[in-house]
């Protein structure tokens, strides 16, 4: 027995350490999911416009539409790209904490600070919140092994959806059943986002970043590139993600050294070239940028449209219930993508054009109807179409790129989308330019989506006709055919 005890002890210790390594991705994923739930559980968000127009803030619909909301767009554009680089440089966690802090200040301003200047600063404050959202997904890829990326991403998206849906549902119940004042709903939201801020401190600090790795680590990554320019993750013999990269980083020169910055710029340029080296990926990215600009514009001003059709001061509103239902329908549409057997390389662009046409019709329906329920249905159709297509687009881009390239593509596409949204805002919304009313704005947004639809219907029809011989191949040869289509689109 004495001889056997050391052997048993070593076996138990080995099993214990193996268990810790295999579950090492669970803790950061669980904490970040918890943060995502509370940070997106914004009970008062579906009722922001009624609250600002109401007696407590007493801001007119014209000032809200043509002055306040455009400030958020301009501020978001100014913050986005610097924050994207700063997020990677500071290794994600500090930016998540910053987002939690600015969420708290956002609702402190809404609850306790009166006056138009305070609401003007609120738009800048909220721009910081939205620009730091990139850290939410980027963080998890720096602390877990590559083989757990897909599961972790699913959990994080589910946590965000659950938080938003629960918050919208709770808000609707408090308004409809308890007749609670919007002020108290905002204070409840303040308490919930304060929990998110506290949870953010529990996140473990990543040991490396995606681009600012140091000169040696960047060289290691370059050596790991495959024949198509795709980077393979650096893993150690125990299966820990990015182990070698972390060791190289720790032995490199100072984090802010010239060599580190030069290596980061070189890796950024390599990732940019890989990301946009295929016409196929460029077209998907183009739809992403164009459609997202229109979607965010509709999302920002939909509450003003609802208030225009059915004024919140004189009637019951169901903004929270509609947002919750739209999120669930949109999530179901996005979830169904994984079960649709379609050769997206051939039919994807045509699908973008067709569903964009449906989205355009839904926006026109919202613009011309005088029924709030018809407007609600139009919004549900529009949001579902966008969530379906953005899921397909994200998958198509991510499946053909390394993680560094996907992160850069996400940042660039979002920046282009926000630039387009800013142009639309300056031209259509801002009081310094046209300053159009909300109905005319939605007619323009519907026309904008109609143009997107026309472009991709033409392009999709051409792609389907050119690659029609591919469809005649047997199912066994279909992957080869798809690879040939992508290769033919290389620039």
Which tens digit of pLDDT belongs to each residue from 187-227? 999 999 999 999 999 999 887 666 665 544 444 444 444 43
Q: Which of 245, 275, 304 is nearest to 53 (CA)?
A: 304
Residue 77's alpha-carbon distances to 72, 81, 127, 275, in angstroms, are 9, 8, 8, 22
More confident residue, 228 or 332: 332
Q: Could you tell me which residue, 417 or 25, shows the higher pLDDT?
A: 417
Q: CB of 165 within 8 A of CB of 320? A: no
Burial class (CB in 10 A: 0-12, 13-18, 19+), 491: exposed
pLDDT of 351 higher than 70: yes
| Angstrom distance (rounded) from CA 64 to CA 353 | 33
For residues 83 and 132, the answer to whether their CB atoms sit within 8 Å is yes
Write down the pLDDT at residue 447: 96
Structure confidence at residue 14 as a pLDDT band (50, 70, 90): very low
H-helix segments, 234-371: 243-250, 258-275, 279-309, 319-336, 344-368
pLDDT tens profile 54-103? 889 999 888 998 899 999 999 999 998 888 878 777 888 999 999 999 99
Q: How far apart are CA 393 and CA 405, in angstroms?
A: 15
Q: How confident is the model at residue 331 (pLDDT cuts 50, 70, 90)?
A: confident
60 vs 178: CA distance, rounded Å: 27
**Contact in structure between 298 and 142 (CB atoms under 8 Å):** no
How many whole angstroms separate alpha carbon 431 and alpha carbon 68?
10
Q: Is the dihedral of CA 297, 298, 299, 302 positive or negative?
A: positive
Alpha-carbon distance of 287 to 439, in angstroms, equals 25
* CB neighbour burial string for 454-474, b if at least 16 within 10 angstroms, e if fewer: ebbbebbeebbeebeebeeee
Neighbours of 176 (CB within 10 A): 14
DSSP 340: -
């Amino acid at each position: 027995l004495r001889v056997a005890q050391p052997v048993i002890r070593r076996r138990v210790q080995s099993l214990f350490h193996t268990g810790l390594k295999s579950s090492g991705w669970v803790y950061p994923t669980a904490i970040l999911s918890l943060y995502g739930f509370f940070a997106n559980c914004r009970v008062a968000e579906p009722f922001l416009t009624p609250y600002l127009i109401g007696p407590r803030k007493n801001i007119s619909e014209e000032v809200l539409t043509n002055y306040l909301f455009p400030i958020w767009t301009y501020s978001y554009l100014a913050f986005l790209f610097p924050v994207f680089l700063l997020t990677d440089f500071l290794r994600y966690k500090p930016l998540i904490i910053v987002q939690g802090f600015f969420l708290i200040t956002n609702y402190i301003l809404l609850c306790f600070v009166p006056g138009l200047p305070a609401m003007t600063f609120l738009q800048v404050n909220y721009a910081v919140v939205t620009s730091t959202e990139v850290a939410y997904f980027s963080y998890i890829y720096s602390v877990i092994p590559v083989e757990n990326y897909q599961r972790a991403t699913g959990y994080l998206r589910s946590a965000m959806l659950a938080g938003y849906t629960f918050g919208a549902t709770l808000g609707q119940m408090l308004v409809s059943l308890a007749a609670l004042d919007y002020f108290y709903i905002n204070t409840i939201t303040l308490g919930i986002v304060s929990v998110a801020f506290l949870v953010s401190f529990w996140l473990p600090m990543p040991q490396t970043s995606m681009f600012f790795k140091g000169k040696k680590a960047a060289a290691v990554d370059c050596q790991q590139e495959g024949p198509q320019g795709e980077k393979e993750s650096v893993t150690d013999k125990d299966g820990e993600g990015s182990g070698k990269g972390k060791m190289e980083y720790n032995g490199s020169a100072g984090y802010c050294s010239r060599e580190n910055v030069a290596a980061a710029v070189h890796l950024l340029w390599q990732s940019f070239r890989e990301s946009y080296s295929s016409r196929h990926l460029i077209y998907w990215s183009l739809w992403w940028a164009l459609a997202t600009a229109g979607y965010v514009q509709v999302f920002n001003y939909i509450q003003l449209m609802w208030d225009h059709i059915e004024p919140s001061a004189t009637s019951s509103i169901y903004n929270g219930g509609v947002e919750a239902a739209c999120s669930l329908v949109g999530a179901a549409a996005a979830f169904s993508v994984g079960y649709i057997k379609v050769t997206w390389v051939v039919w994807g662009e045509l699908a973008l054009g067709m569903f964009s046409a449906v989205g355009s019709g839904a926006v026109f329906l919202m613009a011309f109807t005088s029924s709030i329920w018809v407007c609600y249905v139009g919004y549900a159709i529009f949001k579902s179409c966008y969530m379906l297509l953005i899921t397909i687009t994200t998958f198509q881009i991510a499946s053909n790129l390394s993680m560094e390239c996907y992160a850069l593509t996400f940042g660039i596409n979002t920046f282009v989308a926000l630039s387009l949204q800013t142009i639309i805002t300056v031209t259509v919304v801002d009081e310094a330019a046209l300053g159009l009313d909300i109905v005319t704005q939605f007619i323009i947004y519907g026309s904008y989506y109609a143009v997107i639809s026309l472009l991709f219907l033409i392009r999709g029809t051409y792609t389907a006709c050119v690659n029609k011989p591919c469809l005649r191949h047997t199912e066994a040869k279909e992957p080869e055919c798809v690879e040939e289509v992508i290769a033919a689109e290389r620039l």
